[in-house]
Amino acid sequence: MFTFSSTQASVNDTQPLDLVAAIQTLKQELNAVILAHYYQEPEIQDIADFIGDSLGLSRQAASTSADVIVFAGVHFMAETAKILNPTKQVLIPDLNAGCSLADSCPPDAFAAFKADHPKHLVISYINCTAEIKAMSDIICTSSNAVELVRQIPQDQPIIFAPDQNLGRYVMAQTGRDMVLWKGSCIVHETFSERRLLELKVEHSSAEIIAHPECEAAILRHADYIGSTTALLNYTQQSSADTFIVATESGILHQMQKQNPLKHYIPAPPTGTCACNECPYMRLNTLEKVYWAMKRRSPEVTVSEQTRIAALKPIQRMLDMSA
Ligand code: 13P
Ligand code: SF4
């Protein structure tokens, strides 16, 4: 029987196992790299070789020389790593770590939507399944969506999927009209405009910073909008000393680590729930990272036909991004 505390596991009552040390040993044995998203638990972020936003993580996955990629993030992220690295083993701590946004765009319905707009170029946010990527022309992330759309000729009609909030934000930034798939993220839809403004009254010198997956009612109050990496960088560069942060609260760990003298307040959700924590991201734990490496499972796989089709738009994104 195996039991765990947060950073210790015991194989029996007399043999406690230091999880961090055990993960480091397995990393050497497997020649593994641990990639983690900012929405992971702090203790997972602290053992990662690289922490980043979706673009940064894709770039790391594309360039790693490791034999095994342990992806502490959600399924579509690990799947992207697999698409880029068909010969490497890609492990995910919990196979149920999905994404409400990716789920909001089922392949059959999207194929029909695409067929209704035969002249449109399909730009899909990376938060989608490999099947949706395979039906797309270009993949984008929150850090390059505006830049990529600006590179498309003005007379080329565009479908943007699956996040309608990011799509609307890109439309506002570029002045382009796009046909939007009406998907969204349960975490970024949770923030309350009224409570955000109450917080701003309480902390008048605070800057509001937001992820573009948030609804327009939140984004319109933001002093700065960007991907998780961009938000993190902004808190370090800005002269403000307090920030109200409208994205998943996991990012606060790196903000605090990088500048502990500043203050970071998570933007409040509508109710009293912890809805600003992504329930999928938080399925991953340090224990599950250990077991995934020890058992070399669960593994993320993609059929070769889908992989080849999905690789093209991902590669196009990497080529088109600065
Ligand atoms: P980025 O880290 O790329 O900004 O994405 C946020 C997100 O929602 C990941 O699921
Ligand atoms: Fe998906 Fe939202 Fe969680 Fe990101 S925060 S993984 S978009 S459900």
Domain that holds residue 221: 193-266
**By alpha-carbon position, which residue is closest to atom 9 of ligand 1?**
54
CATH number at residue 259: 3.40.50.10800
CA of 150 to the centre of ligand 2 (A): 25
Q: Please indicate, yes or no, whether residues 117 and 199 belong to a single structural domain of this protein.
A: no
The two tokens of residue 199 are 């917080």
Instruction: For residue 225, report the distance from its CA to the centre of ligand 2, in Å.
Output: 17
Tell me whether residue 16 is in a domain: yes
Pair (315, 171) in one structural domain? yes
Give the atom of ligand 2 at the shortest distance from the alpha carbon of 248. 5
Mutation probe of ligand 1 site: the residue of 99, 213, 232 with most atoms within 8 A of C-beta = 213
Q: Are residues 113 and 177 in the same domain?
A: yes
In a domain, residue 126? The reply is: yes
User: Does residue 274 form part of some domain?
Assistant: no
Residues 162, 242 within the same domain: no
CA distance 308 to 255: 37
- Pair 224, 247 in one domain: yes
Whether residues 163 and 25 fall in one domain: no
Give the number of domains in the chain. 3
The tokens for 216 are: 């327009």
- Ligand 2 shell residues, CB under 6 Å: 74, 99-101, 127, 185-187, 248, 278, 280-281
Look at residue 129 and tell me if it is in a domain. Answer: yes
Q: Cα(210) to centroid of ligand 1, in Å?
A: 12
Under DSSP, is residue 319 helix (H, G, I), strand (E, B) or coil? helix
- Digit-by-digit pLDDT tens for the chain (322 residues) are 344 445 555 545 455 679 999 999 999 999 999 999 999 999 999 999 999 999 999 999 999 999 999 999 999 999 999 999 999 999 999 999 999 999 999 999 999 999 999 999 999 999 999 999 999 999 999 999 999 999 999 999 999 999 999 999 999 999 999 999 999 999 999 999 999 999 999 999 999 999 999 999 999 999 999 999 999 999 999 999 999 999 999 999 999 999 999 999 999 888 777 789 999 999 999 999 999 999 999 999 999 999 999 999 999 999 999 8
SS (H, E, C) 149-185: HHCCCCCCCEEEECEHHHHHHHHHHHCCCCEECCECC
Q: From residue 130, give the alpha-carbon distance in Å to each of 51, 77, 121.
A: 22, 10, 18
